[in-house]
């Protein structure tokens, strides 16, 4: 028989009681949250309704910066069906990244308003921006080229040239232009043409300066060192206050040095490189020391001395002893601290008392008695005599020697 005092709740009943209490609390909280959310939603609806009644729906919630006043001003929404309104709608498409839609909108704009509308230049430039975003570079290049032929010298020229420069950089980076729908044709020549046009059309601008250094860097990277040196030199001459002058002076020297192909060929690039390196040292001595320009100049001196010695050896080989002596002495005078100068001195000692039949027939040489001495003043006089007196004769003999060496190489 059941007795109240004999009843004792089991652990399972305790658990069930706790769960029921928790469930009740959760339901109560949910009801409170639901009531709060519905109240907030209702309040928001009321607020939106009040705003819609108080604010003019024709007024745009955008602002535009006015450079004339330096202030931001409210802009009314575009009015469709007008040249300005439709152009602004197309511009908004472009700002949202809908570039294909922008191109289509501009196409329709020209159908509606033709080529005589005053906003035509703005429409063309907007379409060019959209096409660049779509990577349709060649078509944009052709369009801008035609545009610049018509609007050169106007306020639109700068924006068009900037877009052309972007296209040139893309092409020089290796991007090919399309052919039959595929990118398969190199466009480096088009890029270089664009950069040339920028320098020609707006030579005093920063963009022209940037176009020049871009060309120089491209030629240097491609190994066309002669063209690179030419562009760097043009930049230094045309834009002496440019921030690229220092870089151009150094890179131009490197390019000139790289243009020299060996002692059997013209050393004019080596002479140009030496002159530019020395100018760099005089203008930027600290940087020149860190970059080891002094060692480069020593190397150039060794190479020039070696070339001079090789010319002397050639003349000795063909029996022109007097000419050989001239170049040996020139090597010792102009580059006394080089290995070639030691070799030149040895060859002069070996030629003591030797005369060739050609030298006897032509008579004494005006420089035959010029030789280095231990007297510094006398050496300076000798150097002047070598550099000034026989310059024409030296040039003639040098050219004659180079031709002969080339003939021997061909055989």
d(CA 274, CA 123): 53
DSSP assignment, residue 264? T
Query: Could you report the per-residue pLDDT of 260-287, keeping only the tens digit for each?
Result: 999 989 999 999 999 999 999 999 999 9
Q: Which residue has the higher pLDDT, 393 or 123?
A: 123
Query: Could you report the per-residue pLDDT of 109-163, keeping only the tens digit for each?
Result: 999 998 889 999 999 999 999 999 999 999 999 999 999 999 988 899 999 999 9
- pLDDT for res 178: 67
Q: Which residue has the higher pLDDT, 356 or 288?
A: 288
Q: Which of 25-39, 246-260, 347-361 has the lowest mean pLDDT?
A: 25-39
Tokens standing for residue 188? 């480096």
- pLDDT for res 33: 47
The backbone torsions φ and ψ at residue 48, rounded to the nearest 5 degrees and listed phi first, read -60, -40
d(CA 175, CA 226): 25
Residue 303 has pLDDT above 50, yes or no: yes
- pLDDT for res 46: 37
Residue 27 has pLDDT above 80, yes or no: no
Query: Could you report the per-residue pLDDT of 214-272, keeping only the tens digit for each?
Result: 999 999 999 999 999 999 999 999 999 999 999 999 999 999 999 999 998 999 999 99
Residue 169 has pLDDT above 80, yes or no: yes
Residue 202 has pLDDT above 60, yes or no: yes
The model's confidence at residue 28, banded by pLDDT at 50, 70 and 90, is low
Mean pLDDT of 307-334: 93
Query: Could you report the per-residue pLDDT of 93-121, keeping only the tens digit for each?
Result: 999 999 999 999 999 999 999 888 999 99
Name the 3-class secondary structure at 81.
coil
- Name the helix (H) or strand (E) containing 30: helix 11-54
Query: Could you report the per-residue pLDDT of 54-68, keeping only the tens digit for each?
Result: 434 333 346 666 777
Q: Name the percent of the chain lying above pLDDT 70.
A: 68
- What are the angstrom distances between the C-alpha of 220 and each of 149, 241, 253? 31, 22, 11
Query: Helices (DSSP H) in 152-204: which residue ranges?
Result: 157-172, 188-201
């Amino acid at each position: 028989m059941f007795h109240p005092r004999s009843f004792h709740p089991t652990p399972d009943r305790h658990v069930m009681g706790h769960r029921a209490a928790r469930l009740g609390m959760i339901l109560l909280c949910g009801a409170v949250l639901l009531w709060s959310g519905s109240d907030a939603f209702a309040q928001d609806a009321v607020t939106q309704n009040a705003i819609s009644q108080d604010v003019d729906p024709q007024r745009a919630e955008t602002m535009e910066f006015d450079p004339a006043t330096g202030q931001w001003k409210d802009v009314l929404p575009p009015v469709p069906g007008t040249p300005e309104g439709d152009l602004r709608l197309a511009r908004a498409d472009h700002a949202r990244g809908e570039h294909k839609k922008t191109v289509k909108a501009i196409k329709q704009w020209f159908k509606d308003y033709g080529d005589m509308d005053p906003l035509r230049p703005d429409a063309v430039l907007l379409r060019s921006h959209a096409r660049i975003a779509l990577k349709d570079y060649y078509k944009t290049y052709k369009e801008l080229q035609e545009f610049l032929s018509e609007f050169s010298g106007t306020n639109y020229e700068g924006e068009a040239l900037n877009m052309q420069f972007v296209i040139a950089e893309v092409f020089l980076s290796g991007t090919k232009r399309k052919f039959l729908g595929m990118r398969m044709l190199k466009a480096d020549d088009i890029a270089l043409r664009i950069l040339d046009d920028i320098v020609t059309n707006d030579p005093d601008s920063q963009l022209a300066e940037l176009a020049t250094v871009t060309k120089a860097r491209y030629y240097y990277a491609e190994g066309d060192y002669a063209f690179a040196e030419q562009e760097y030199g043009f930049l230094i001459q045309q834009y002496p206050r440019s921030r690229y002058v220092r870089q151009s002076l150094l890179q131009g020297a490197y390019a000139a040095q790289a243009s020299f192909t060996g002692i059997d060929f013209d050393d004019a690039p080596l002479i140009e490189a030496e002159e530019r390196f020395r100018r760099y040292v005089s203008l930027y001595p600290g940087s020149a020391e860190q970059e080891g320009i002094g060692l480069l100049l020593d190397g150039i001196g060794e190479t020039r001395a070696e070339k001079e010695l090789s010319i002397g050896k050639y003349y000795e080989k063909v029996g022109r002893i007097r000419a050989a002596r001239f170049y040996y002495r020139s090597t010792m005078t102009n580059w006394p601290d080089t290995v070639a100068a030691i070799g030149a001195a040895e060859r002069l000692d070996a030629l003591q008392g030797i005369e060739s039949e050609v030298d006897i027939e032509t008579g004494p040489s005006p420089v035959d008695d010029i030789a280095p001495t231990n007297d510094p003043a006398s050496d300076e006089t000798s150097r002047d005599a070598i550099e000034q007196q026989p310059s024409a004769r030296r040039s003639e003999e040098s050219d004659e020697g180079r031709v002969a060496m080339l003939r021997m190489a061909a055989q």
